[in-house]
Structure 1
């Protein structure tokens, strides 16, 4: 069996230090994603998204930094995590990154990493209140890499270092800036191998979130500039000038735009000494313009000008440069969301701030990461003299709990603990290989979502921690987009009844249908005397729903919801499982339970959405998985009470009764269940007792035909919808992220061939669900895998002829 990754979607961690774009060799962007590191090439014309994921850390990755190797053939990546470790990864051109060293010197989470280009030094900051200075020891080819700890600087009990920056001061010494949970910046200067505290810069009024050094001009002898950005919404620039004399006083202090602030800005000079020279540190400028906390600042020399990129909680990304005439620093470009469009909650589409802002290696693109885990990318067009937004990548930021293909396999739905449901499909354009993207965010919710299933190609049902299930219908705007970009057939039979779009009323949880109006239609609210003035939120301009490319994050969060058409009540606790019958006429649901009264399975018919009574009673603890057989003759349920139950359809179409049960189906709780497509009714169960069992219903009862063992608890199992070379294909996932893909000859069920997917492409945490893509040719099978490591992965499965 050959199993290869086809697509990975994963959201970025909400930490300003958890991403870096390699200026040299690989030109890849690395970002922390839960406890893994994702690698993405934002300049890739094919838009193939995340290329690889590096697993190794056991807790969230807080800091990621590329080390400048001065070699185009070797990339070295440093990562720091909440598991208190620092890992060093190395990759040669065209090869995967491998972890070559793990350092455990910090006693608390590693929060920051700073490197010094053209030097072997790097520094790390941690919640243990220390900054550690390290030195790389390696050969020219980086075949052997070792690290020496040269110094530990303690900043506690005064403050915790939130960030650090390094720069060469002169030929013999280095300057280190450290700041964090207080409003002052400490400047350290190295003498031989040790750093000594030389100055403390005051002026900010809040915690300092960003520090960045640069030379004022590309000339090595020019002054050093330090940018510091804070929770006080201001950016301060500081000048480090060599010599006994102070630099010419900055005219920026008398800038009339500062108003009364100008008087309170101290221009006190701080003096710092190295072994060779003396430097003054003076306040240079105050940059005003952000309306909320500032998270990141980074310098770049672009086209002969020095520019500073900052990102803020106010949903904007700003580029600043100094006015050549007055010397005043001004914001020349602002990208992101305009204040008027901000919502008050995630439900009304607010982005919740930009956490990361990075320059591309050529300086002509910038990317930023927002609260929803999605990246945004802008590229500068010299011809139009403007920054244009381009397609970037998106992903869940919490555990992905449920995944379901549409009935015809044309798109994929995922749902999870970040309270969103997302729709992925392939963009079919004139390139060699189509690329996968998120095309719609049907549900943005106020509760964690646990399970999902497609009712038809234009309808799905999802269950959450709120004790009820919700049914959603595809709006016309999304159907048109999927038809135009993904070549998915437009639903002609139901198109007359489909609403145009949906939104969430400001104080509501339910998506309401809204209509699309022509761009030139008059605004209904213009006439004050009109008694029928409509709410502007209940309409949308048609042009907003016309896309020539996969939608950007702003549209996904605001305009591509699906209207909710039904709510299903009845359960008393959080919904744990949902399954739709193969005919689409019935839905079976279950909830978390600790007694036989609550561990019931409720059935609803999809025509009138009424419950089919009575509820099915057999389990005594939570039902973890439900599935209907291919002909809907049987419903299989498994639970934490270690039993599986097969319900058979009675004479009445919608009624099911208990046919078979096994209270000791597994030695531990059963977490997954799947029907096969064999002629005799055969099903599989997966349990915490590290096994997958194959059962067959015969005239005499249910027989155990085979047991497939795994190395750890099995949490999900799925069977392909068709036989391949008269063999049954199945896949299972385990508690620690392993995936096994196997095949069984239909006449010898006890002989299973299982191939384990390579660890480097498998998820890093528990697998919650696996589903096979329907409607695929025999040699082109695919599985979608939802995992607790926040990733959705699609794998291609090919049977290799022996």
Structure 2
């Protein structure tokens, strides 16, 4: 048995205000596609995500820890289910204990209360269901509420009522501008009843949360509501016949901020256990300039509120000590004129949720790009200092490629970004991080390959390929933080930026902090784009770049475009010597199913293109010595092209099997053997081994590995693992992957290597799109084990290390 160790787990968070929660134990859970990712933001090692919970079959919308429950986690999904997860007593791993399938549509919100044995779930079927947890934390349905007037609940909050034992108040809001208060009176029955409707907002309400105003047992409850009308409203639930002071005074100046609008001070009265209660409007919080997605109360001693908005900012609010007026004491995030925009030049498109740490000393927020930003409060400086967050792709990862020396990993995705991942090394400690975002595009990206240690080529849905060169800023960053690179710096541009209306990254020069920017001529006919100005100090970091830095200052300049294809690029491969790039596009005819070759000195196409296929080519692979180019496609056939002995840039057809598989072939890989040998993988659930046969002057079928599902990805480790043995990784449409030891002498038998992993689910939740072994012959001194990168349709990128010598 071989132990798999998770070196790196990365996934972007789902864009939903309720998709994350932070437990008292320090674990932050967030929805990542159909997974739930677990992260300890205050971990001193900055290790990022350490586990994925799997079980949902569609996007996770809501994640909620049950307070004071020793690790009960609730999750709701577009798959119409709520799952209850329990944490193991001896570890941080969770297992699914129960799946609730009573709702008829997507789950949008879950409400829990400290010490309560009940929770509520709200769904797009316009119902709220109340659940009761027994001693074993198994849930049973207690009540079903149909929302009237009909709207979809998007936010809920649950709290015990002050002074009333086993009585609760449930606030519900969503796709209307009202908040409904349901009250459970333990004396009058086991059901929640609608007791008040709070009005005042003028847009959908996206977040609700209760807190106690003080530690007093008779403290009033405060309810914060955040709306798409750009305002936060605070409401007070008071126990007693008399009204609280603010409502009783009905100060008309409260409405002065909003011309033509008056703020309602109506008191909504109700009873529970014979006690009188009132719900009144308390305060209007103004300051955000766009939709407000979430509000969170601080959980320790201080009465503070954290809000996250589409205006790219987090705000921390607290009441003024003398006047009691709620004011913003801190604003974090970006000061951007492009509120809520999605420009490639770096505006984030807003913050979807903000969370307090249990102690209140750290805050995190989630942006449109799926990345987490993090700030720690410095008591000495009395300010918030940005720390190292985490990031990841938000859609299917379509391609991955190690740099030729294995120092870093490139990934490209349908989320239209290319990302560079590497190890941040500091003494004996290291952790993986996204170190650069070389490409932010306007089309879905489909494939990528590395040309050498500082160049790569990528293909997208735009019918052309782009070649990128590493800028000095990124080279210096990787040299400083990761300990590699740093040569040929004088030949590199400082940095790159993307014009607002363009797709091509342009090289730019950094200026000194004291240099003046010459802003065009006297008529301002050639004014400099402010986005193209970058100071040298901005590019000098002592820690992995933050999200703002990644999206603005780590782009790679584009050095070439490769034209010729008529449809979206489907596959590409760069030769190991970096002299030739082979490309293919989506095709439904012989005319378009050609393979085009480009030589990398002048970037001219080598004509004529290679023909063999009649449908889309799904994968291209060069052999280790570049003597052969292998292509496989949807037409179920594979073809091998051989390099010309005199002209190294030319290839001609050498072998072809029109019936290689019975269904489309999805991937192929060359083995690191003296005798040419390759494997093909298909939708027919088979991996086939083909070997060069001198007698027939072609390749013959030698062995077949049969799997339980369609095989979508394969890759050979590029070094033999033993005498006459090679290692083959196989990934499937189900998300499962296996590693085989293949004997290349004798009968070509394949033996599956038994794997053990400390994380709950080593397999992705959806189809594996690509597998890539780190170049074994480039392993750095002191590193043990081989590293396998796994890309998946679930948006997760995983790097596992394993010591195959143990097998």
Three-state SS of the structure 2 residue aligned to 1:480 is helix
Q: Which residue of 1 aligns with 2:793?
A: 788
Question: Aligned in 2, Cα 1:263/1:327: closer, same or farther, shift over 3 Å?
Answer: farther
Match of 1:178 among 172, 180, 194: 172
- Matched ranges for 1:127-142 at <5 A: 127-138=124-135
**1:364 and 2:374 correspond:** no
Q: 1:642 to 1:416 in 2, by over 3 A?
A: same
Distance change (3 Å), C-alpha of 1:787 and 1:260: closer
> How far off its partner does 1:126 sit?
0.3
SS in 2 for 1:584: coil
Match of 2:486 among 490, 495, 501: 490
Per-residue deviation, residues 166-186 of structure 1 (Å, max 9, x unmatched):
111122411111111111111
Contact preservation (8 Å) 1:226, 1:239 = yes
Structure 2: distance between partners of 1:120 and 1:256? 39
Give deviations 1:755-792, integer Å, cap 9, x for gaps.
Answer: 36568211110011111101127952111111001001
- Report how far residue 249 of structure 1 moved: 2.5
Deviations 1:678-703 (CA, angstroms, capped at 9, x unpaired): 11110111111111111101112322
Matched, 1:230 2:227: yes
CA shift digits 1:83-130 (9 cap, x unpaired): 001111111241421111111000101111111111101000000000
Is 509-518 or 522-531 further displaced after alignment? 522-531
Normalised TM-score (structure 2)? 0.95
Q: 1:438 aligns with which of 430, 434, 438?
A: 434
Question: 1:470-503: CA deviations, max 9, x gaps?
Answer: 00000000001101110012122xx333111001
Using a 3 Å threshold, how does the CA distance of structure 1 residues 252 and 477 change in structure 2: closer, same or farther? farther
Q: Provide structure 1 residue ranges, at least 5 long, that are not aligned to the other structure.
A: 139-143
Greater Cα shift, 457-466 or 155-164: 155-164
Cα offset, 1:267, TM superposition: 0.9
Specify whether residues 657 and 526 from structure 1 end up closer, same or farther in structure 2 by C-alpha distance, changes over 3 A only: closer
Q: Which residue of the other structure, out of 628, 637, 647, is the alignment partner of 1:643?
A: 637
Contact 1:172–1:276 under 8 Å retained in 2: no
Shift of 1:145: 3.4
- Deviations 1:33-55 (Å, cap 9, x if unpaired)? 00110000001000111010011
Aligned 1:97-496 pairs, distance under 5 A: 97-138=94-135, 144-155=136-147, 158-169=150-161, 170-192=164-186, 193-249=190-246, 253=251, 258-261=256-259, 264-302=262-300, 304-340=301-337, 344-430=341-427, 432-492=428-488, 495-496=489-490
Compute the displacement of 1:524 (Å).
1.3
1:83 is matched with: 79
> Residues 561 and 598 (structure 1 numbering): CA distance in 2 closer, same or farther, change over 3 Å?
same
Task: Tell me how far apart the structure 2 counterparts of residues 420 and 133 of structure 1 sit (CA, whole Å).
Answer: 42
Relative to structure 1, is the Cα distance of residues 253 and 350 closer, same or farther in structure 2, using a 3 angstrom cutoff? farther
Aligned equivalent of 1:748: 746
Alpha-carbon distance in structure 2 between the residues aligned to 1:537 and 1:308:
33
Once residues 15 and 449 of structure 2 are traced to their aligned partners in structure 1, the CA distance between those partners, rounded to angstroms, is: 29
What SS is found at the alignment partner of 1:718?
A: strand
Alpha-carbon separation, structure 1, partners of 2:684 and 2:432: 36
**Aligned partners of 2:425, 2:255: CA distance in 1, in Å?**
51
**SS of residue paired to 2:507:** strand
Match of 2:7 in 1: 6
Aligned pairs for 1:501-516 within 5 A = 501-516=495-510
Alpha-carbon contact 1:343-1:349 (below 8 Å) kept: no
Gapped runs of 5+ residues in structure 2? none
Deviates more, 1:413-422 or 1:341-350: 341-350
CA RMSD of aligned residues (A): 1.8
- Output the CA distance in 2 between the equivalents of 1:514 and 1:208: 44
In the alignment, the residues of structure 1 paired with residue 405 and residue 438 of structure 2 have an alpha-carbon distance, to the nearest angstrom, of 18
Cα distance, 1:253–1:629 mapped onto 2, change above 3 Å: farther
Q: Residue 554 of structure 1: SS of its match in structure 2?
A: helix
Match of 1:581 in 2: 575
Alpha-carbon separation, structure 2, partners of 1:253 and 1:780: 70
| TM-score, length basis structure 1 | 0.96
Q: Which residue of 1 aligns with 2:42?
A: 43
Aligned match of 1:681 in 676, 680, 684? Answer: 676
Q: Which moved more, 1:471-480 or 1:331-340?
A: 331-340
